[in-house]
Amino acid sequence: MSTVQLFRTGDTPLPDVIILTHKLTREYDMGSELVRALRGVSVQIQKNEYVAVMGPSGSGKSTLMNLIGCLDTPTSGEYWLNGQKVSDLADDELARIRNKEIGFVFQTFNLLPRADALHNVELPLIYAGMSARSRRDRAAHALQRVGLGDRMDHRPNELSGGQRQRVAIARALVNEPSILLADEPTGNLDSTTGLEIMALFRELHDSGQTVVMVTHEQDIAAHAARVITLRDGVVATDQARAA
């Protein structure tokens, strides 16, 4: 396990710490009751780590995933992403962070059904304001990287589940994000295809990509080098696995 900086409020994370959460809490006001989904989560993830976040449903792992993905803002605590404190950023700035720093991979792929693979992968680059030509080049390159160089003009319904998830991964990687953030990436795939995707994750991790994956499957989590388990909104265990 990597060395951990003891972080106090007011500190700045070490340069190679990609993700740092400090006493992160998230509460939902459901009218009649206050749901405390996260009750103070402090984790540090370093560059080129491969981390799985586990936990039973209701443990807060989805909430943590949304916060790490900058889709949500914490009730209290700090969140630093790639040296920038993002826990108190405004809406548009969070959109920019999502665009530049985070590559999402969803359980249900979330591809645009009417657009071909290439256009789906181009999407983040459109919001980055890149020109059409360089977008195309970058998207094509990303598709080649996930082994779909010959499927660029196929629409999602012309692709298998595994191929769709590969398109989604290419889309996640196309902006060269700090972290690849995957939410149950094999949840909608059969076990063989799931293993292929895990092999691809391994490959990406080996080439230097930081990967954070939320899953409830022990087998899938076993592919990661480090497993963080949440229970009742706090970190229960945080274990490095033998590589």
Q: Measured from the CB of residue 126, what is the shortest distance to other proteins in angstroms?
A: 6
Residue of 14, 58, 72, 83 that binds other proteins (CB under 8 A): 72
Residue of 46, 104, 220, 224 that binds other proteins (CB under 8 A): 104
Q: Measured from the CB of residue 125, what is the shortest distance to other proteins in angstroms?
A: 9
173 CA to centre of own chain? 11
The answer to whether 79 contacts other proteins (rule: CB under 8 A) is no
Subset of 52-71 contacting other proteins (CB under 8 A): 66, 69, 71
Residue of 36, 58, 106, 154 that binds other proteins (CB under 8 A): 106
Exposed, middle or buried: residue 232 (CB in 10 Å: 0-12, 13-18, 19+)?
middle
Q: Measured from the CB of residue 171, what is the shortest distance to other proteins in angstroms?
A: 7
Q: Measured from the CB of residue 67, what is the shortest distance to other proteins in angstroms?
A: 10
**How far apart are the two ends of the chain, measured CA to CA in Å?**
11
Exposed e or buried b per residue across 173-212, where buried means at least 16 C-beta atoms within 10 angstroms of its C-beta: bbbebbbbbbbbbbbebeeebbbbbbebbeebbeeebbbb
Residue of 34, 35, 112, 240 that binds other proteins (CB under 8 A): 112
What CA–CA distance (Å, rounded) separates 17 from 80? 9
Size of the site for other proteins (CB under 8 A): 24
- At how many degrees (to 10) do helices 132-145 and 161-173 cross? 130
The answer to whether 124 contacts other proteins (rule: CB under 8 A) is yes
Binding span for other proteins by CB under 8 A among 13-21, 94-102, 205-213, 221-229? 94-102
Residue of 22, 98, 151, 166 that binds other proteins (CB under 8 A): 98
Exposed, middle or buried: residue 224 (CB in 10 Å: 0-12, 13-18, 19+)?
buried
Residue of 4, 89, 95, 234 that binds other proteins (CB under 8 A): 95
Residue of 11, 127, 153, 218 that binds other proteins (CB under 8 A): 127
What CA–CA distance (Å, rounded) separates 29 from 52? 28
What CA–CA distance (Å, rounded) separates 97 from 77? 19
Exposed, middle or buried: residue 31 (CB in 10 Å: 0-12, 13-18, 19+)?
exposed
Subset of 139-178 contacting other proteins (CB under 8 A): 171, 175
The answer to whether 28 contacts other proteins (rule: CB under 8 A) is no
Binding site for other proteins (CB under 8 A): 66, 69, 71-72, 91-92, 95-96, 98-100, 104, 106, 110, 112, 114, 123-124, 126-129, 171, 175
